[in-house]
Amino acid sequence: MPAVTSHLPSPIAATPRRRTVVKAAAATAALAPFATAALAASPASAASNGPAFLHGVASGDPLPDGILLWTRVTPTPEAAPGSGAGPATPVDWEVAEDKAFSRIVASGSVTASAATDHTVKADVRGLRPQTPYFYRFTAGGSVSPVGRTLTAPGHDASTPGVRFGVVSCANWEAGWFSAYRHLAARSDLHAILHLGDYIYEYANGVYPEAKYGVRAHEPKHEILTLADYRTRHGAYKTDADLQAMHAAHAIVAIWDDHEFANDAWSGGAENHTPGAEGDWSARAAAAKQAYFEWMPVRTSTAGTVYRRLRFGSLADLHLLDLRTFRSQQAKVGSGAVDDPERTITGRAQLDWLKSGLASSNATWKLVGTSVMISPVAFGSLPAHLLAPLTKLLGLPEGGLAVNVDQWDGYTDDRKELLNHLKDQKIKNTVFLTGDIHMAWANEVPMNMATYPGSGTAATEFVVTSVTSDNIDDLLHVPADTASLVAEAAVKAANWHVKWLDMDAHGYGVLDVTAERSQMDYYVVSDKRNPAATTAWTRSYRTANGTQKVERSYQPVG
């Protein structure tokens, strides 16, 4: 990569504004607002005028000296995502200190071809730590939208704080991505942490039913093949709010089950039928290929997303893959949840995590986990409330108190990890979680049956869904109609659960300083309204060295 020039901007800079696809003559014009712009032309009409950037730009996996850049070019009208059509097309990229690109510090060229669905990545190095940069792509005279990104602090640098937007579970049919728009408008974030279910695999009208959906999936059938997964990823990246978020902030993403199929495990999934839907290994390989093509995530030779990023001496972020290596979910009541031969992480990943946690000299050890590690039991609930919870938590219809798709279904791995934290005296471990369409603030007990006497191993903040249905959506009743009763019952049976919200949609903002880690929870007013507003609702924090969760009465910013 070309060397970085000696004149670099201050680490503090205003968030750039987003614009639509423009021609080269307008490349240095002021950017339209990130959060409100949409593509001005349809894919066919834009591509007919030459190569077009119809799916936005993105950056991800920030390092102290680098960033991964992403885009997708449509070279001709027939080269739609998943089509396998369209010519190979040279794509140039540039990184600059300023949004006018008068001070370019790195540039290069890559080729977009049908082999990668005309997606391209540039792993740019030689940049300065904790510094904002602007980037863009060009192809055949067309210029992409401009993105802004931020490199990580130096490896051992002392930084006063890092702040992440935290999201999960964005179902296209269930609502509009207003949460992404509001995150795009923030200028105080280092990156977005996406904890999985970035896409959903279902056919139209399955989840939710068609009469409750706000827009239809493409393709319309359940996605099974490489072309299907590419098409679904491409459809998601036409959303203006999703494009705005990517253009405004770097993203750090892991997958969960719906990037594959519901309740996926190493050998199959709950809704995969081998006889009718082909071989699972072929489907999983197709899903992974499309994911790595369409997401600004560094491709792993092992075909996994578990990896580690560092944000100065303040925080190590350990990211997990809890689908590739896991054993099949146990039948509730069989006793198999405690079988030491069963695993959610796989041996190599669990050893990697334990080693990384033990050797970390960062103040905070953050762990991105797609499913909840805290145990959950259920007290007495009426049948009409238990029914939607069985869908959200993977419980059997009888309501036994085990969620077999979460760490509750793999208790030996959890016990080994929590004992490791205790034995190695590892403090300040914070699990960051998505998946179950609810917001939680938990202390992770060493032993739930004897908590709090047995002590707390870590803390956990769970964010709700961007749009995916939760308890009141499943019952089709107004917010707080049913959830307040269910929330009270869960808290009564689980003393380590300090707070939960079963019916909101939105996002979290995690603020990490030397003194504490705090999650602010934000709620969108109506997921079915594309102009939805957002409001802060609660904040919870854990202080350095305490491993306790307490409420904070104001957001950090």
Q: State phi, psi for 126 to the nearest 5 degrees.
A: 85, 15
444-501 confidence digits (pLDDT tens): 999 988 899 999 999 999 999 999 999 889 888 887 777 888 888 888 888 999 999 9
Q: Tell whether the model's pLDDT for residue 63 goes beyond 70.
A: yes
According to CATH, the topology of domain 162-552 is: Purple Acid Phosphatase; chain A, domain 2 (3.60.21)
Which pLDDT does position 396 carry in this prediction? 52
> What does DSSP say about strands 89-96 and 66-72: parallel, antiparallel, or unpaired?
unpaired
- Give 52's strand partners: 74
User: How many Cβ atoms sit within 10 Å of the Cβ of residue 258?
Assistant: 25
Mean pLDDT of the chain, nearest integer: 89
92: exposed, middle or buried (C-beta count within 10 Å: 0-12, 13-18, 19+)?
A: middle
Place of tokens 């959200």: 392
**DSSP single-letter state for residue 104:** E
Which pLDDT does position 42 carry in this prediction? 44
Class of domain 22-149: mainly beta
Mean pLDDT of 190-196: 98
Which pLDDT does position 402 carry in this prediction? 64
Q: Tell whether the model's pLDDT for residue 29 goes beyond 50.
A: no
Decide if 134 contacts 98 (C-beta within 8 A).
yes
Which pLDDT does position 27 carry in this prediction? 27
In the chain, what are the domain boundaries? 22-149, 162-552
Using alpha carbons only, give the angle 106, 112, 117 rounded to the nearest 5 degrees.
130
Dist CA 543 CA 314 (whole Å): 14
Which pLDDT does position 331 carry in this prediction? 86
Q: Tell whether the model's pLDDT for residue 16 goes beyond 70.
A: no
Q: Percentage of residues in the chain with pLDDT exceeding 70?
A: 87
Confidence tier at 366 by pLDDT (50, 70, 90) = very high
Which pLDDT does position 471 carry in this prediction? 85
Lowest-pLDDT choice from 103-112, 282-291, 379-388: 379-388
Dist CA 127 CA 244 (whole Å): 24
Q: Tell whether the model's pLDDT for residue 357 goes beyond 80.
A: yes
Dist CA 504 CA 527 (whole Å): 9
Dist CA 488 CA 381 (whole Å): 10
Which pLDDT does position 489 carry in this prediction? 83
Q: E-strand spans in 312-428?
A: 315-319, 364-369
Confidence tier at 188 by pLDDT (50, 70, 90) = very high
In three-state secondary structure terms, 405 is: coil
**DSSP single-letter state for residue 145:** P
Q: Tell whether the model's pLDDT for residue 372 goes beyond 50.
A: yes
Q: Name which residue leads in pLDDT, 471 or 214.
A: 214
Q: Name which residue leads in pLDDT, 540 or 337.
A: 540
Mean pLDDT of 72-77: 97
Mean pLDDT of 118-143: 98
Q: Name which residue leads in pLDDT, 527 or 377.
A: 527
**Where does residue 544 fall: left (phi above 0), alpha (psi -120 to 50 degrees), or beta otherwise?**
beta
Confidence tier at 98 by pLDDT (50, 70, 90) = very high
Q: Tell whether the model's pLDDT for residue 364 goes beyond 80.
A: yes
Dist CA 360 CA 338 (whole Å): 29
The pair of three-digit structure tokens given for residue 183, joined into one six-digit string:
């995150």
Burial 389-426 (b: 16+ CB within 10 A, else e): beebbbbeeebeebbbbbbbbbbebbeebbebbeeeeb
Which pLDDT does position 398 carry in this prediction? 45
Dist CA 522 CA 101 (whole Å): 35
541-551 confidence digits (pLDDT tens): 999 999 999 99
Mean pLDDT of 41-58: 75
429: exposed, middle or buried (C-beta count within 10 Å: 0-12, 13-18, 19+)?
A: buried
Q: Report the Cα–Cα distance between both ends of the chain, in Å, rounded.
A: 36
Dist CA 286 CA 117 (whole Å): 12
Dist CA 42 CA 420 (whole Å): 54
Q: E-strand spans in 463-505?
A: 497-501
Positive/negative CA dihedral, 389, 525, 205, 476: positive
Which pLDDT does position 509 carry in this prediction? 98
Place of tokens 């490489």: 226
Q: Percentage of residues in the chain with pLDDT exceeding 90?
A: 78
